[in-house]
A and B are shown apart, each in its own frame.
Chain A
Amino acid sequence: MLTAAPRAAAPPVDDSLELAGVLPARGPFLGPGPADAIGVDVPPEFNGHDYVVFLLRVAAEIEHSLMAQYLFAAYSLGGPSVPAEQAEAVRAWQETILGVAKEEMGHLITVQNLLTVLGAPRQFDRDDYPNVSPLYPFGFRLEPLSLESLAAYVCAESPPEWDDEEARRIKAKAQADTGDVVNRVGELFEQLISLVERPSVVPDSAFQARTVPFQATWDEWGRGYRQGQRGAEAMSSLDLPAPELVILPVGSRAEALTALRAVAEQGEGFETPPDENDSHFRRFLTVYRAFEALGDGVGDVVRPLARNPTTGDTDGGDAVDPDTPTTITHPEARLWGHLFNVRYRKLLTNLSHAFELADDPSDATTLTPRGALIHRTFSEMYNLRAIAGLMVRLPVSADEPDGPRAGPTFQMPYTLALPSAEADRWRVHRDLLDASDRLIAALRTASPSGDGPDYLAALAQWDDIERGHVEQLIAVPAPSPVPSPVPQP
């Protein structure tokens, strides 16, 4: 991951390079270099193509981070203390935030397509907490939804022209909470657009159209959500706009710009045209205002989840400190946390592996397990949701049964790099099934509460089914019709 190592030893910001970079004073590389022959500022140590790749990988990390944080925030809503008259509104806020998280998933996938077309390694990694990466809009935190966290989300998704009295108030609240100015995600995409649209920065030859069969499409990943098309359409169950997944394959500069603009507009649109869904900014602002109106009632609609829950050992931690991890010590919750992490890694491994296998409509003779990997990526999303639902009902601490609740851990694995041989990639899947198997056995021995036993029985069986498939693919490696155009790091 870009900013992970060495986290503690990040070079100091070079103040002399703060003038016109994409994220001024936000990182060791991001200040502008001297204007060069291509007419734009590219930092030292980069050329134009490489700099775009760098920024895209930053964008991937950010989209991934936002997705995890928004999911955690959404899952924190609800619980036994929600007043009956507010249940419907709470459910709507929850679905609004889940919808934004799903759209961030679309952004993450589209950014992978952009990396792929530029012949660059894809980026499914992201920084873990505790994290103060200067590249992110704000430090990565898993925390229950609050007026303060909403302020940060609104600011991160905000458009540049948002500067009225309310804007200043929310920005101040966000800065007070996060300890710094919250960066606009849109700024990064604006910079990317300005770089990609110039052939002098990224030459035509950098766009490798032959990679399109390896890229993700809405057809494969859209799952019935809207195809980023215009035209407001309500969800069928709640009176909310249906999420639109922007998943665009990219084969050319024009398509790259279309994709970047679509992602940027979905985030920060200021004025919503009458026939379009609200931007993330608008949706968060709506929830913010509702939370503001709740006043002290916020506590009733949010589960008391510990902040930054982790299965790792920490130096104490504080369940209410936003910037320190909280070790889950409740035995059952801790096992669920481990299982959550394994399934999270499975999700990311499936996603990453799917990009290694082509689906070429012009080649009707070759089928790959790409479809199975795509389906399993979604299956793991369902698993994460299920395990999160079990965790938010358990205490985080063994010593405080009525204390803060545990929450989904979203801990990053030590690596997401895939082996180069296809059979070895399937062995990674088997390794993860083994790890899951051990945790399921431990949890079943620990006599989990509530719905845990039913879920674990089904999960064990589902893993058995997947294992059978994986063993077959290890034994008979799937032929790759063409070499992967993008070697993984």
Chain B
Amino acid sequence: MIRELRVLPPLAIARFGAAPTPMDNYDATVDPQRPLGYRFLRPAETLQVDPATGEIARTFVPSAVTFTENGLVRPVAPFLEVWALTDDDRLEPLTTDLLAAEGASVADLTWRVEVANRKVVRRTGDDADLVTADTGDVTDHVVHPLSGTCPNFWPGKAIPFGSVQFIRPTAAHPEIRLRFTPGRGFVYGASRTPPPAGPPADASVRDVVYDASRGSWQGYRDRGPLTTVPGQIYALDAQGASRGYLDDGCDGLVRVTLAVSGRNLSAFGRIGVGPPAYAPDGLPVRTVADELEQALLGPAPAPEEATLEQVEETVRRVFETVRLMNTAAMNVGGMAAHDVGEGRRREPIMARALVDTVALEQLHMSVLLALRSGSAPWFADVLRDHDEVGDLTDRGRRKMPALMRGADGRHLTLTRRQVALIRALVRGPVFPDADGAADGGTTR
């Protein structure tokens, strides 16, 4: 018997794209023969949906990973699956067979997707600036647009946030899924007079939607406690005021309800949208996944949770991040400029000779190289602690990760959990205890 439902993954992040065909599936993996190389992208099994029927038309492994189509970026359109927690504590995909065993069918399932774009309202504080889309109850398998409307929009105007589609289960694919296709990645504008028909005069915008004679977003300036750190992270006009731009990003909840045996079981997942992956063969040094892991598992892992493999992964992400940075410029701009307000006179963070990007990348690669020998990490002291983000001494500014800004406008740190995992290994033996001849190598 089904006890509870789950929507998995609990958080799915789509990526903008204007191409009609969603991105194919792929894995980013490390080539064991080139362990210092960037991850290579291996095509993986992909589900192709027929938008007309809502069915999965076929599954295939593409011959190559292709990110664009006729010059347009292909969107990442995630699937959200419904899983069932049964009486025997098994978590398994909800399928038509499982539904039938409960005396239910696909017709007993209802989806509802509610999303919003809060970027304007979180600044202006005007509830009429909230852009929302709500599919209402979805029980069919047609494409449901997510049309973002807002009290302060011009009449009849909306921002397309993309769409959702309840995938019609088939004998070959009996699982219960919903697909979220995000917006195309366009910018929308504002005007004080009703926008004329035809393409907008501002070539940057897809459409003029915001009525600036009613809302305050166009011409808005940061003030008050809602100001972000750093401030003014939106498009500005020549006078330093907001141009009134909006985008077609959104986030929100995906709910599913199953009416079965007189009960209503429900679950929800979260969706959001991010920009396309322009460096898909690497990962940032600190990601939302690290935050979630810390929230879920705590900042202080048990010593046995720390493995050399995790440390290697962190170091790999460091050099994958470094390669994307203009470290020579960031050494004197970026945080160095930011620290001006804290009493540092735009002083370079590192010695000038050390910030060549290529040399820095190689240095970090060599750290990973040494770890491959099975010896323990040694660099715990150069990691910035969470309570050192405001240490603007030379030594403090040079701690790792360097030259990068955290969400609070201070120098970036790894999560406390990431740091603790590395430190746990530093406390252990420098070299593996077992002799080489009897040793199969360090567990990775």
Contact = CB atoms under 8 A, between A and B. Distances in A.
Nearest to A465: B362
A372 interface: yes
25 contacts: A78-B430, A78-B433, A80-B435, A91-B427, A224-B382, A224-B398, A237-B423, A359-B352, A372-B359, A374-B354, A375-B362, A376-B362, A379-B363, A382-B366, A389-B374, A393-B432, A395-B437, A449-B437, A450-B441, A451-B441, A453-B441, A454-B372, A457-B32, A459-B369, A466-B362
Contacts of B32: 454, 457
A270 interface: no
Given A458-B372, A465-B362, A91 B429 contact: yes
B369 A220 contact: no
Interface string B3-47: 000000000000000000000000000001111110000000000
A382 B370 contact: yes
Interface in B383-410: 383, 385, 394-395, 398-400
A405 interface: yes
A385 B359 contact: no
Interface in B297-329: none
Interface string B426-444: 1111111111110111101
Contacts of B35: 454, 457-458, 461
Interface string A228-247: 00000001111000100000
A252 interface: no
A459 B35 CA distance: 9
A359 B353 contact: yes
Contact of A75 (B362, B365, B428, B430): B430
Contacts of A382: 366-367, 369-370
Nearest to B308: A451
Interface in A356-384: 359, 361, 364, 367-372, 374-376, 378-379, 382-383
Interface in B329-385: 350-356, 358-360, 362-363, 365-370, 372-375, 378-383, 385
A489 B437 CA distance: 44
Contacts of B351: 217, 219-220, 359, 371
A395 B433 CA distance: 14
A461 B437 CA distance: 25
A227 interface: yes
Interface residues of B, number: 58
Contacts of A310: none
Contact of A367 (B356, B369, B381, B434): B356
A386 B369 contact: yes
Given A91-B427, A219-B351, A82 B433 contact: yes
Contacts of B431: 75, 78, 388-389, 392-393
Interface in A383-404: 383, 385-390, 392-395, 401
Nearest to B378: A385
Contacts, number: 198
Interface size, A (range) = 35 or more
A451 B372 contact: yes
A469 interface: yes
Contact of A451 (B354, B363, B432): B432
A374 B430 contact: no
A225 interface: yes
Contacts of A237: 380-381, 423, 426-427
A173 interface: no
A65 interface: no
Given A80-B433, A371-B353, A461 B363 contact: no
A251 B160 CA distance: 67
Contacts of A227: 394-395
Nearest to A220: B351
Contacts of A385: 370, 375, 378, 430
A371 B353 CA distance: 4
Contact of B354 (A236, A375, A405, A462): A375
Contacts of A75: 430-431
A91 B429 CA distance: 7
Given A359-B352, A389-B430, 16 more contacts: A75-B431, A79-B433, A224-B382, A224-B395, A225-B381, A227-B395, A237-B380, A387-B373, A389-B374, A390-B373, A401-B437, A405-B435, A450-B432, A451-B373, A452-B373, A454-B35
Contacts of A369: 359
Interface of A: 75, 78-80, 82, 87-88, 91, 94, 217, 219-220, 222-227, 235-238, 242, 359, 361, 364, 367-372, 374-376, 378-379, 382-383, 385-390, 392-395, 401, 405, 448-455, 457-459, 461-462, 465-466, 469
A238 B440 CA distance: 29
Contact of B369 (A236, A401, A455): A455
Nearest to B439: A450
Nearest to B419: A236
Contacts of B399: 224
B353 A220 contact: yes
Interface of B: 32-37, 350-356, 358-360, 362-363, 365-370, 372-375, 378-383, 385, 394-395, 398-400, 423, 426-437, 439-442, 444
Contacts of B398: 224
A462 B287 CA distance: 27
B434 to A, nearest CB: 6
A223 B353 contact: no
A462 B365 contact: yes
Nearest to A90: B429
Q: In the complex, which of the residues B362, B372, B382, B426 has the most CB atoms of chain A within 10 Å of its own CB atom?
A: B372
A190 B271 CA distance: 70
Given A372-B362, A450-B439, A451-B432, A236 B370 contact: no
Contacts of A222: 395
Nearest to B360: A375
A224 B32 CA distance: 31
B309 to A, nearest CB: 11
A462 B437 contact: no
Nearest to A391: B436
B369 A462 contact: yes
A236 B380 contact: yes
Q: In the complex, which of the residues A82, A87, A461 has the most CB atoms of chain B within 10 Å of its own CB atom?
A: A461
B362 A386 contact: no
Contacts of A458: 35-36, 368-369, 372
Contacts of B400: 224
Nearest to A461: B36
Contacts of B378: 385
A3 to B, nearest CB: 32
Contact of A371 (B354, B439, B444): B354
Contacts of B370: 382-383, 385-386
A87 B428 CA distance: 8
A346 to B, nearest CB: 12
Nearest to B35: A458
Given A236-B383, A237-B380, A469-B358, A361 B430 contact: no
A212 to B, nearest CB: 14
Nearest to B442: A451
